[in-house]
Amino acid sequence: MKKIRYILAMAYLIFSATSFAQQKYAVLITGDYDALGIPLENQWNNGQGKSPNIHEEFWYDTYLMWEMLVYEKGFKDENVFVLCANGIDFSIGKEDWMWSRYNAEEYHYENFPITDYPATIANVENVFSGLATGTNGFPQVTEDDFLFVWTFDHDGIDLTTGKVFLYLLNATKMWDYEFAALTDQIHANKKVFWMQQCYSGGFNDDLEDANTVFHSACQPGEMAYTVDDKDINNNPVVEMENVNGINYPHG
């Protein structure tokens, strides 16, 4: 009997430990490819070098981030929330090699489509508020958990105040302090922000905290650009994907 009680006690302890173990959550936000209504000076890559698919690198990098988190870093797909453009996975012609490489269904992944919501202000607010409170069908991020947030889109800056913003769908703006107010309400053990858009360094002062790691593609007053197959010293390096003589860009 003592042995049975011991086994049951150990099973309870193991179950409790796994039930309340740290969870990993991620929010991936990509505003819109087309840049409709966005001034040229605020567009990714200065609005230059668009392919017939507009800024297709937005989708490629979003997909790569999702793929890495779910299939390499142990994130559960249901804990990775993707807000991308109009809420539909980007698609180009099936004859294009990139269609199969950056299409979860064609690439034989079980989780497709990967996009959960259109990248609107309301949806960004709903996701972060839901994760903070555990409401509206979202799990609640606790003080034991890890939160990763990645953003990519067009961006802008107020030259008078130095405040920056992220463009979301339909050229709507989310300012750095508004973004911070949404993520501040989430009490994770560790928060990591990776921001790839222009002026993204301007988010740092709003997001900085003892439990926060922040990476940006550029300084507060700098633009961000597509890869150009050159290093910082203008030496040739392979950054784009070249397939059948066609260059496919990334951020």
Taking only the tens of pLDDT, the chain with its 251 residues reads: 444 444 334 333 333 333 445 999 999 999 988 778 888 788 777 677 666 667 788 898 999 999 999 999 999 999 999 999 999 988 877 767 777 788 887 766 777 899 999 999 999 999 999 999 999 999 999 999 999 999 999 899 998 999 999 999 999 999 999 999 999 999 999 999 999 999 999 999 999 998 999 999 999 888 888 877 777 788 887 777 777 777 777 88
CA 23/CA 130 separation, integer angstroms = 16
Q: Which two tokens stand for residue 159?
A: 């030259």
Q: What backbone torsions phi and psi does residue 28 show, to the nearest 5 degrees?
A: -110, 125
pTM over the 0.75 mark: yes
The b/e string for 75-84 (b: 16+ C-beta within 10 A; e otherwise) is bebebbbbbb
Q: What backbone torsions phi and psi does residue 11 show, to the nearest 5 degrees?
A: -60, -40
Instruction: Determine the residue type at 23.
Output: Q
The answer for residues whose C-beta is within 8 angstroms of residue 144's C-beta and 6 or more apart is: 20, 21, 22, 23, 189
Q: Which two tokens stand for residue 26?
A: 């991620």
Q: List domains and CATH numbers for the chain.
A: 23-248 (3.40.50.1460)
